[in-house]
Amino acid sequence: MWDKIYRVIRNKKGILPDTLLRNSEGKTLTPHESAKLLAYTFYPDDSVSTDMPFHIRTRERIEDKPVEGLRLSEDDPPFTMVELKAVLRELNPKKAPGQTA
């Protein structure tokens, strides 16, 4: 999927690839329309009405609502900056962070 985008970026002559984005009706999109379509596809509007169970749990954690099965002890110390930096150094820069299987 990203091959054509990287080809455009690498291309020093500024020639676009031979394929262009089209909308659901088959109309060829302008670069501006293409950017809007890609943004909406990969970053849709955030709506509580379309939340899946995982999203609901995430919102509850963020809003400090109790989540069933997640009980932290009162004496759990907060993370230190050293601990956070150590974890960040271990992340693979070529992988997206997320929930593990």
Inside any domain, residue 50: yes
Domain-located, residue 14: no
Asked if residue 54 is part of any domain, the answer here is yes
Domain contains 49: yes
Looking at the structure of the chain, the number of domains it has is: 1
SS3 28: strand
Residue 16: predicted pLDDT: 53
DSSP at 78: P
| 50 membership: H or E segment, kind and range | none
Instruction: Find out whether 17 and 1 touch, Cβ atoms under 8 Å.
Output: no
In a domain? residue 42: yes
Task: Indicate the pTM of the whole model.
Answer: 0.36
Which structural domain, as residue segments, surrounds residue 37? Answer: 21-70
Token digits of residue 96: 């997206």
Does residue 39 belong to any structural domain of this protein? yes
pLDDT band at 12 (very low <50, low <70, confident <90, very high): low
Say what the pLDDT of residue 81 is: 92
**Tokens 């329309």 appear where?**
33
Q: How far apart are CA 28 and CA 37, in angstroms?
A: 12
pLDDT of residue 67: 59
pLDDT per position as a tens digit, 14-71 = 555 555 788 888 888 888 888 888 888 888 888 889 889 998 888 888 876 665 666 6
